[in-house]
Structure 1
Amino acid sequence: MFTIEHDFDATVITLVDEGEEGVSHLKEDVTINAFEDCVTIEQLEPTTDRVQVVTLSMAQLQDLAAALDLPEGVYRLARTEDVQR
């Protein structure tokens, strides 16, 4: 399950672990904040009771999206602003 909320300066997506049949432990919710210039991913670390935050630039986010559909290897995406016409 997930929720989507539009705040003043970000879109906030929360991913809720509903579990799988036969699996008794659930992972903490993941909150994704999409800002104009970056994306943050937050999750509570229950052993320390602290929220862990990872910040991705928009280029890193594009690389991640591309990587989900590629086989093993090393890649560099050609960005439109990098391509000479």
Structure 2
Amino acid sequence: MSLQKRVRRSQHAKKETEFLRLKRTRLGLEDFESLKVIGRGAFGEVRLVQKKDTGHVYAMKILRKADMLEKEQRRVFTGL
């Protein structure tokens, strides 16, 4: 195997490891900066947010679980 091919494989393996590590991380509210509220509903709101580390912009739906449970809006699992 040539040196150039081994270097490319090594670089690819490093990128793959980094990607898999990022995929495993859990995101939280602290990872985003809220830009503005773009909608409100019965159980929560939708916000325009920006991810702090990449700068990408997303819509985030924030639900109030207590309100949903109070209004009995939970799904019933019947099993298989």
TM-score (structure 2 length as normaliser): 0.29
Name the one with the larger helix percent.
2
Name the one with the larger strand percent.
1
Which structure: larger Rg? 2
